[in-house]
Chain A
Amino acid sequence: NAGVTQTPKFQVLKTGQSMTLQCAQDMNHNSMYWYRQDPGMGLRLIYYSASEGTTDKGEVPNGYNVSRLNKREFSLRLESAAPSQTSVYFCASSEFAVREQYFGPGTRLTVT
């Protein structure tokens, strides 16, 4: 099993460009998450999807949108990238809220 996969692994954008980060899991998990990780800070939740068909804002949702395409896939979109969105983005999944989360390998995004 691949677990949680993410694409792309690396991306460089210019300010104002848009892009979509893709995430898929093959563990039949109900819940999926998008986090960002910045130096010296813990992982911060951007958006989550408790179950197929639902999405909700996390701690830092501004500048992002998400789509839960089906039970397996959860994408994150940056509509107009800003340098403050330079970060490492991780997708994760879990069976449900209080259970352990499994992470994808991350996307390193630089916005110039």
Chain B
Amino acid sequence: RKEVEQDPGPFNVPEGATVAFNCTYSNSASQSFFWYRQDCRKEPKLLMSVYSSGNEDGRFTAQLNRASQYISLLIRDSKLSDSATYLCVVNSGGYQKVTFGTGTKLQVIP
């Protein structure tokens, strides 16, 4: 099993739709979790950290499920500008223990 797994997609959704991505991780000792957004040929940009209690930032909600070892990202009211690849990042407690998923591609269509 890979350390961090994401469905590569693409997820093609109409504007205004709600879409959710999951990311599973294998190390139960993982300590911190993040979602990044990466546009084509650009650097990854931090979207949000994922806290045990879950967190929300506008249209974006992130959840952590430690029992089942996955994190999720929910995007409500999708905009064309949300089209990007979403990377999950899992840190198992050290500099060499940061693992990036390969990303889930989202395409929001008019």
Q: Enumerate chain B interface residues (CB-CB to A < 8 A).
A: 4, 31-32, 34, 42-46, 49, 87, 89, 91, 93-96, 98-103
Contact = CB atoms under 8 A, between A and B. Distances in A.
A100 B44 contact: no
B99 A48 contact: no
Interface in A86-107: 90, 97-106
Interface string A34-45: 000000111101
A56 B110 CA distance: 47
A48 B96 contact: yes
Contacts of A102: 46
A24 interface: no
Interface of A: 31, 33, 40-43, 45, 48, 50, 56, 58-59, 90, 97-106
Given A102-B46, A105-B42, A31 B101 contact: no
A43 B44 CA distance: 10
Contact of A98 (B46, B87, B91, B100): B91
A50 B87 contact: no
B49 A58 contact: no
Given A33-B95, A103-B44, 4 more contacts: A48-B95, A97-B93, A98-B93, A106-B43
A20 to B, nearest CB: 20
Contact of B96 (A43, A58, A105): A58
Nearest to A54: B95
A9 to B, nearest CB: 11
